[in-house]
């Protein structure tokens, strides 16, 4: 079987958005599933709008998602000689020609076609003039006037386009820059791309590209046009539906694997399964399971899926992504056993890494600042004796695990006659500064004996002062 070679060709005119990321993911997953090859190509022929900053942002987003590439990144701006070679082939074979029609002349012929009830297209006036290259000449492809072009689409099924609907489209502008359709076909031919998965907004380009493949006597790739991603109101996804940049979701505290999991479900399914690890996606992804209905982007579902990935991911994996958020808050945190233990206490109650980092700060603080309401309610003189008894019990303990901590609390309860809740909540405020935290015993174990005793003593001093 021929090796599958897919590609992702973003234009560096902005950030990587949700739709583009999904296209990259589908191509990457199919290449990985089939043990094929995934090629990255930067389509930067739009010199006016392409920027290095956008290229860097796209690469950064792909790297965060874990979408790696086997070849590239190639840059169209560095491939001019290759495009010129293929344009010359089409000119030499009589399948392309020079055209010197002015913009005014083109506007006039399109208006005339509209008035006659036809499509506003080029009328082929220069087709048989045998014009030579000149400063004001473009190169047009000589499209067939009769017959039909068939797109054999693995997602949509066969799409038949009458050739009469197409005109002799431009393949090279007067400044020598190739047009999108020509550059894409030449790139895909020379890079050996045999599977093209892309958004269905490209369906109108595909017949022109098929004609170019045929004119260049090149085999056609497998085409699959994926439905668009829409907002919950079923309008085309835009900024009003939420953050659009992939890296914006990273900065909001989403895990890359959770984001990948959500992206793939925007148009692909595997029975009723919703949760997938990356390895499961690679094992199960096929083109046959891509749906024909638009994907509906729902931030609530994304958030719920992110929370599930946080719960189910190993602490070591979470630590790698959490540490930058902790450092932003001034914590001297590393991807070590302590941080992983912290994560275990917070993973069941965190929907995002931002939430988790906020909940983890007390573990790293040198000195606890008490919430005013919490301190007034729980750090009262009546709790000084229980706290001192607990300090004494903890100092005398040879171990600091959950069973020994439970014994220490029971000793205080038996001595004072107080119930666990009456002791645990002031202890929680003493250790965290807040009334909400992970479970009291698991939190104590992670903080460690020395830090717990020091904070309890600080709380006693605070009350006495």
Q: Return the HEC string of the chain.
A: CCCCEEEECCCCCCCCEHHHHHHHHHHHHHHHHCCCEEEEEECCCCCCCCCHHHHHHHHHHHHHHCCCCCEEEEEHHHCHHHHHHHHHHHHHCCCEEEECCCHHHHHHHHHHHHHCCCCCCCCCCCCCCCCCCCCCCEEEECCCCCCEEEEEECCCEEEEEEHHHCCCCEEECCCCCECHHHHHHHHHHHCCCCEEEEEHHHCCCHHHHHHHHHHCCCCCCEEEEECCEECCCCCECCHHHCCCEHHHHHHCCCCHHHHHHHHHCCCECCCCCCCCCHHHHHHHCCHHHECCCCEECCHHHHHHHHHHHHHHCCHHHHHHHHHHHHHHCCCCCCCCHHHHHHHHHHHHHCCCHHHHHHHHHHHHCCCCCCCHHHHHHHCCHHHHHHHHHHHHHHHHCCCCCHHHHHHHHHHHHHHHCCCHHHHHHHHHHHHHCCCCCCCHHHHHHHHCHHHHHHHHHHHHHHHHC
- In the set 35, 239, 367, 419, the catalytic residue is 239
Active site residue 239: yes
Q: Which residues are catalytic?
A: 239
């Amino acid at each position: 079987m021929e090796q599958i070679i897919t590609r992702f060709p973003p234009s560096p005119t902005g950030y990587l958005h949700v739709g583009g990321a999904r296209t990259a993911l589908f191509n990457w997953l199919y290449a990985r599933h089939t043990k094929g090859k995934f090629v990255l190509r930067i389509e930067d022929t739009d010199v006016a709008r392409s920027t290095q900053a956008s290229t860097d942002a796209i690469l950064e987003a792909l790297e965060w998602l874990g979408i790696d590439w086997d070849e590239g990144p190639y840059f169209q701006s560095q491939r001019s000689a290759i495009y010129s070679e293929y344009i010359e082939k089409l000119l030499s074979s009589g399948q392309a020609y020079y055209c010197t029609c002015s913009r005014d002349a083109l506007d006039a012929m399109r208006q005339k076609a509209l008035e006659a009830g036809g499509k506003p297209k080029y009328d082929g006036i220069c087709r048989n003039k045998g014009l030579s290259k000149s400063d004001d000449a473009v190169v047009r492809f000589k499209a067939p006037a009769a017959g039909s072009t068939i797109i054999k689409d693995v997602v949509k099924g066969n799409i038949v386009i009458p050739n009469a609907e197409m005109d002799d489209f431009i393949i090279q502008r007067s400044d020598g820059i190739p047009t999108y359709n020509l550059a894409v076909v030449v790139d895909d031919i020379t890079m050996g791309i045999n599977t093209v998965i892309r958004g269905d907004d490209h369906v109108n380009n595909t017949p022109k590209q098929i004609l170019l493949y045929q004119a260049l006597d090149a085999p056609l790739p497998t085409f699959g046009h994926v439905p668009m991603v829409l907002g919950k109101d079923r309008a085309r996804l835009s900024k009003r539906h939420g953050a659009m940049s992939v890296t914006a979701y990273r900065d909001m505290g989403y895990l890359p694997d959770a984001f990948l999991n959500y992206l793939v479900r925007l148009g692909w399914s595997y029975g009723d399964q919703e949760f997938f690890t990356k390895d499961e996606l690679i094992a199960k992804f096929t083109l046959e399971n891509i749906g024909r209905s638009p994907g509906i982007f729902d931030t609530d579902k994304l958030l719920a899926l992110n929370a599930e990935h946080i719960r189910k991911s190993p602490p070591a994996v979470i630590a790698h992504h959490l540490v930058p958020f902790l450092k932003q808050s001034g914590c001297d945190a590393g991807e070590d056993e302590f941080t992983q233990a912290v994560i275990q206490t917070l993973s069941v109650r965190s929907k995002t890494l931002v939430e988790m980092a906020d909940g983890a700060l007390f573990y790293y603080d040198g000195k606890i600042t008490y919430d005013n309401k919490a301190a007034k309610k729980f750090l009262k003189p009546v709790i000084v004796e229980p706290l001192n008894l607990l300090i004494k019990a903890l100092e005398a303990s040879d171990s600091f695990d959950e069973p020994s901590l439970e014994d220490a609390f029971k000793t205080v309860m038996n001595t004072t006659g107080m119930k666990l809740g009456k002791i645990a909540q002031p202890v929680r405020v003493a250790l965290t500064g807040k009334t909400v935290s992970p479970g009291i015993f698991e939190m104590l174990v992670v903080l460690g004996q020395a830090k717990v005793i020091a904070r309890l003593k600080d709380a006693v001093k605070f009350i006495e002062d």
